[in-house]
Structure 1
Amino acid sequence: MIKIYYSSESSVGKQTYAYLNASFKDLLAIDVTKTNVTGTQWKELAQQLNIKIGDLVDHEHPTFTKNYDKDASLIEDDWIKLLNKTPEILNYPIVILGDAYIQIKNPSDIEKKLDPNSMGLDEKTSI
């Protein structure tokens, strides 16, 4: 099964979801703007991507910059609260392929990761 965490308010999120949805029957799609993601889940996603929770946030998103400086430094719990309150600020969709957690920065690049010849996926990758 392939799992995707994405924001339907993001063009990268919508495009990545559309590609995966058209390609796979066994897809679990979690639209973070419609489904509550727990703090534990946010923390696990960041850990598996080997990034800080604050790195899951689009620091240039209008909802973020309305209240914070783009260089804001918050503690982990505050980042989690911010993502829970305003999930549309998720910067990139996160695709989980087996044990590989991948932030998708360009929807067309997901095709390379799903190519059957690329089974040696780097488990913590950003595209």
Structure 2
Amino acid sequence: MGVISTDEHEIKLFFNSGSSIGKQIQAYVLASERKILTIDISKTRVTGTQWVELAKGLKLSISDLINKEHPDFTHNYDANLDLEDEDWLKILEKHPEVLSTPIAIIGERFVQLRSPGDFVKYIEPDSKM
């Protein structure tokens, strides 16, 4: 069992309220019929262990969670960095705004949400029960 609990009737959303896509997806999630827990990464610190669990749940590496084209990333780092996972975690912890997309845990599924339509796609089958 990981440090992030899952519940078939709950949605957890890790997002940045400073991004327009984060705000849009948050609105869609809050309109859902399920119990919601939103984690605004611009206000709430996500631990290294939680980032690792999110990456594993998405079947991605830590570096894949980072938008290497984000202005805050390109201003502070070389886009061609070749780092160990611990170093990528430090970047996420220091600059959470470089998270590539909001991440939702819907029941036991971990999904990256690139648009509000992605959320609708994942939640719709459950609402037809």
2:60 pairs with 32, 51, 66, which one?
Answer: 51
| Percent pairwise identity | 48
1:31 aligns with 2:32: no
Query: For the residues of structure 1 that align with 2:34 and 2:119, how far apart are their CA atoms?
Result: 16
**CA contact under 8 A between 1:16 and 1:107: conserved in structure 2?**
yes
Report if the CA contact (8 A) 1:112-1:118 is conserved.
no
| Count of aligned positions | 119
TM-score where L is the length of structure 1: 0.87
Normalised to the residue count of structure 2, the TM-score between the two structures is 0.86
Please say which of residues 14-23 and 32-41 is displaced more in the overlay.
14-23
Deviant stretches of 4+, over 4 Å: none
Unaligned runs of 5+ in 2: 1-9
Q: Is structure 2 residue 115 aligned with structure 1 residue 82?
A: no
Q: Which residue of 2 aligns with 1:72?
A: 81
Q: Distance in 2 between matches of 1:52 and 1:117?
A: 28
Whether 1:19 aligns to 2:28 is yes
Partner of 1:122: none
1:40 partner amino acid: T
Alpha-carbon RMSD across the aligned residues, in angstroms, is: 1.6
**CA shift at 1:97, angstroms?**
0.8
> Unaligned regions of 5+ residues in structure 1, if any?
120-127
